[in-house]
Amino acid sequence: MALPRGAKRRASEVLERLRKEYPEPYCFLHHETPFQLLTAVILSAQTTDAQVNRVTPALFAKCPTPRALAAAPRKTIERLVFTTGFYREKAKRIQGAAAMIGERFGGEVPRSMSELMELPGVARKTANVVQSYAFGQSDGICVDTHVKRLAFRLGLTRDEGPEGVEKDLMRLYPRDHYEDVPFYFISHGRSVCAAKKPACSRCFLTDLCPKRGVISST
């Protein structure tokens, strides 16, 4: 599918302005090891990063390694992650990932996209986050709901699915920007470009933005 008209010009200007407005990129999920980050990202599905950060200190204190997490009683893990929602499935996934890391990868979180995506609970978005913030590399651009929404509204993609959006963003930005794009798009999505009523009146991108799909704004 062709990129929207003017997408390449807008893409570079959008990122330049976002960099001036927001701080240097950092990971929204608190962690000290690649395994902790992987676990936190799996838990972040359909909940907030803030809620995950409230849960993980007790979880990581109880289960600091893949072996410890895999061996813990399932009920204990479910209790620790209960407030993140879908706690039974999430407990199953993080324990499954921990077990596979111990059995297949020598206790170390794998670095490659293909191996990361073999782990239970890990799709491409999760793998991109782990690659970026645990290993300082990225084979792609993490597309969450904020990134998907902003890319469409800003006329950087015609696609509304995460895979298509990622492909288009990878066409627009060089590899050394792959880690920065999600951080800045998410930051702007949280502070200005909300899902229901974006604050277009105070947005510093308004002259660049086609506002695709925007029904009402403030």
Please tell me whether residues 52 and 104 are part of one structural domain: yes
Q: Which parts of the chain register pLDDT below 50?
A: none
For residues 50 and 87, membership in a common domain is answered with yes
Residue 161 confidence (pLDDT):
93
pTM of the model: 0.93
pLDDT of residue 216: 85
Cβ atoms of 180 and 16 within 8 Å: the answer is: no
Whole-number pLDDT of residue 1: 80
Residue 61 domain-assigned (yes or no): yes
Specify the pLDDT at position 114. 96
49 assigned to some structural domain: yes
pLDDT of residue 102: 97
Residue whose pair of structure tokens reads 């409230």 in the numeric block: 54
Please tell me the distance from the alpha carbon of residue 84 to that of residue 82, in angstroms, as a whole number: 6
Provide the pLDDT for residue 75: 98
Cα atoms in the Cβ-side hemisphere of radius 13 Å centred on 117: 8
**Is 125 one of the catalytic residues?**
yes
Count of the separate structural domains present in the chain = 2
Q: Which one from 125, 148, 159, 180 is the annotated catalytic residue?
A: 125
Catalytic hit among 92, 144, 167, 211: 144
- Looking at the chain, list the stretches that DSSP marks H as alpha helix, in order from N- to C-terminal side: 7-21, 34-43, 49-62, 66-71, 74-81, 87-104, 113-116, 124-135, 145-153, 162-172, 180-191
Indicate if 93 and 154 belong to the same structural domain: no
The pLDDT value recorded for residue 145 is: 95
Domain that holds residue 44: 34-135
Whether 174 and 129 map to the same domain: the answer is: no
